[in-house]
Structure 1
C-alpha cells in the first residue's frame, strides 16, 4: 500500500530536517554553551531564537527564496560574509570571557537578559548562510512544484515543531546541575574550545568560495 503523496512529502521533509538538526553546528553550540554557562531559561530562549530564525528561512523558502538566490547570487555572498563576521564576534566574546578571573565559588548562572538570549539565537541562525542554502535549495526542492498550500503549511509546521523539540531537548539536557558544575570547574578551557570552534565556523564562511 502506497502512502498518500502529501504524507510522503511531509515525511521526507521531516527526515531531512532531523538530519540537519542533529549535525553539530553554530546553533547547537550556542544553545549548549548558554545552557552550561548561563541558565536553563537563557538556553531555552536562545533555542527559541534559533527556532525563530529557522521559521523565517522556512517561510522564505515556501515563498520562493531559491528564485531570488538564483537571480541575485550576490545576496548569498552578503549573508555569508555577515554570518562569518558575526560568528567571529561571538568567538571573540567567548575568548575574552575565558581570560577573566576564574573562581570555584562563582555562580554558574550568570544573568543574561531574556531579549539578549533570544537575539543571540536568532542572529546565529539567520546569519548562517548554510541555513539559507538548505532552505533556499534543498528544502525547496523536496516539495513538489505543484504542492498545495495545505502541504506547504504542513511542511512549515513539521519544520518548526521538530526544531522546537530538538532545541528544547538540547537546552534541558545541557543545563543539568552536573554539567553546570563541570563547566564551572573547567570554564576557561570550555569557553576557549567553544570560542575556537565558533571561530572556525566563521573563518570557513569567510574563505568559502561561491
Structure 2
C-alpha cells in the first residue's frame, strides 16, 4: 500500500477511535437524541462533523507550514503526540467503569438549527479535541504530505465525525440499543484505551529508534 494512503488511513483510524471514546460530545448527542428527538440528535451530529472539519483545516494549515520549515519540530510533536495518546488511554481506562450520566428532562431547544449550533459549539470549545487533532496530524502525517491528502482530509474527517455521532443519535433515540451500549461501556472503553495507548507507545518508540 502506498505510504500516503497508509498515512491517511492511520489518521482517520485514530480520529475514529477518539470519536468513539465517550466524552462531552458523545453525551451531548446522546442527551439531545433522548430528550428532544432523533432529528435533533442528527443535527447535533452534523454540527460535530463541521467542528471536526474546522479543527482539521486549522491543524493542516498551521502544522503543515511549520513542519516544512522546522524539520526537528516534527520529531518533538511526534513524541508529544505519543505521550498525550498514552495519557488519554490511561484516563479512558480509569473511567471505563463509570456510568455515563445522561441528563433527564426536556431540552430547552426544540429546533434542529439550534441543536446543530450546540453541537458545533461543543465540538469547537473542547480543548481536548483540538489537542487530539494536532497530536494525531503531527504524529501520523508525513512532514510534507502530498496535496491530495491535504484536500481529502477535511471531507474525510467530516464523514468520520458525522457518521459516528449519527450512529449515536439513532442508537440513543431507541430504547434497546441504548441499554445494550450502556451495559457494554466498560469493555468498549477499555478496548479503545488499549488501542490508543498502543498507538502512543509505538509513536514514542519509533522516534527513539536509531537512524
The CA distance in 2 between the partners of 1:154 and 1:179, in whole Å, is: 33
For residue 31 of structure 2, the aligned residue among 15, 30, 33 is 33
Instruction: Answer yes or no: is 1:22 the counterpart of 2:20.
Output: yes
How far did 1:178 drift?
A: 5.8
Instruction: Answer yes or no: is 1:164 the counterpart of 2:162.
Output: yes
Q: Is the 8 A contact 1:37 1:110 kept in 2?
A: no
The two structures, once aligned, show a CA RMSD in angstroms of 2.9
Q: Is the 8 A contact 2:57 2:154 kept in 1?
A: yes
How far did 1:132 drift?
A: 1.1
How far did 1:52 drift?
A: 1.1
Q: Is the 8 A contact 1:39 1:110 kept in 2?
A: no
Shift >4 Å, 4+ stretches: 108-111, 177-180
Instruction: Compare CA radii of gyration and give the structure with the larger one.
Output: 1
1:50 counterpart SS class: helix
The CA distance in 2 between the partners of 1:173 and 1:48, in whole Å, is: 16
How far did 1:58 drift?
A: 0.5
The CA distance in 1 between the partners of 2:12 and 2:125, in whole Å, is: 23
The CA distance in 2 between the partners of 1:111 and 1:137, in whole Å, is: 34
For residue 8 of structure 1, the aligned residue among 6, 9, 13 is 6
2:22 counterpart SS class: coil
Q: Is the 8 A contact 1:32 1:174 kept in 2?
A: yes
- Change over 3 Å in CA distance of 1:15–1:179 after alignment to 2: closer
- Change over 3 Å in CA distance of 1:6–1:33 after alignment to 2: same
Q: What is the correspondence of 1:100-119 to structure 2 with a 5 Å cutoff?
A: 112-119=110-117
- Change over 3 Å in CA distance of 1:19–1:49 after alignment to 2: same
| CA offset digits 1:142-186 (Å, max 9, x no partner) | 111111110122222322111121111111111126689x9xxxx
Gaps of 5+ in 2: 67-72, 74-100, 180-211
Gaps of 5+ in 1: 71-93, 103-107, 183-210
For residue 147 of structure 1, the aligned residue among 121, 125, 145 is 145
Residue of structure 1 equivalent to 2:123: 125
Q: Is the 8 A contact 1:39 1:109 kept in 2?
A: no
**Segment drifting more, 170-179 vs 36-45:** 170-179
Instruction: Answer yes or no: is 1:44 the counterpart of 2:26.
Output: no
Q: Is the 8 A contact 1:13 1:139 kept in 2?
A: yes
- Normalised to the residue count of structure 2, the TM-score between the two structures is 0.61
